[in-house]
Amino acid sequence: MRYIEPHGHMVSRTTDDYLDMVTAGCEAVCEPAFWAGFDRSSADGFRDYFRQLTEYEPARAARYGLPHFCWLCINPKESEDVGLASEVLSLIPEFLDRPNVLGIGEIGLNKNSRNELKVLERHVDLAARTGQLILVHTPHLEDKLKGTRLILDLLAADSRIRPERVLIDHVEEHTVRLVLDRGHWAGMTLYPISKCTPARAVDILDMHGSGRLWMNSACDWGESVPLAIPKTALEMRRRGWTRAAIDQVIYQNPIEFLSQNPKFRLNAGT
């Protein structure tokens, strides 16, 4: 089996997790900027974090021959403070040319507040001005449908944004169609309890097909499983999916989306 982990918060994981992922067939990991397990007190905390994402994590992954990529932003959970968000937004361009940076993300909404929307709009503007790919986080549970609609409308209102260069993550049964119908890519997050369990994710694939869809573990500070993708592949196998059809979802699809940024490359010979 081979797969791409397109959304893993590796700063929250141990080095043993990298080893397990590579052993299971992981050929690249991508890490969107997110919460650090605590609210950072200043923009300097984000500068250090962006260095961690662009210098230290790629080096930690490289010990196992695993290419590590990242996305940059101030995440919605910390963007209620518009002053702090402005300072972080002005830092991001310094890092965009670094070799493992794929785009702006994971931006989006958490509680669907006015300030979060303001900061989301500024990130979308930054991505449009600098030609970056976009990765979007959608809110959890009862806020998800409303938040997804707000995000899709905001993106559609900006004529500079090409829908196929935006992936909307954490879709579920009630949001996947909305996202695909707008021409975006959609991500399913495989959590043991909330978001999508492996069985629900395979149901969604069975119902909607596998075009413009990927799966990720989003392994982070909460209960989450770094090997969720290969474990879900076993569930697909159990249900009669062919090896080629599984490979399409867990390997070819992420490569197709991510390769829109030419900096996304697998190791030679893989």
CA distance 238 to 185: 26
| Tokens representing residue 73 in the block | 């932003």
Shortest distance, position 17 Cβ to Zn ion, whole Å: 15
Shortest distance, position 33 Cβ to Zn ion, whole Å: 9
Indicate the residue among 80 and 247 with the shorter CB distance to Zn ion.
Answer: 80
**Which position's Cβ is nearest Zn ion?**
218
Q: Do residues 185 and 257 lie in contact, with contact meaning Cβ atoms separated by under 8 Å?
A: yes
Indicate the residue among 61 and 218 with the shorter CB distance to Zn ion.
Answer: 218
| Tokens representing residue 117 in the block | 């929307």
Helix 114-130 to helix 144-156 angle (10° resolution) is 40
Indicate the residue among 71 and 241 with the shorter CB distance to Zn ion.
Answer: 71
Q: Which helix (H) or strand (E) holds 68?
A: strand 68-72
Shortest distance, position 219 Cβ to Zn ion, whole Å: 9
3-state secondary structure 229-263: HHHHHHHHHHCCCCHHHHHHHHHHHHHHHHCCCCC
Shortest distance, position 88 Cβ to Zn ion, whole Å: 17
Indicate the residue among 218 and 250 with the shorter CB distance to Zn ion.
Answer: 218
- Chain residues binding Zn ion by CB under 5 A are 34, 218
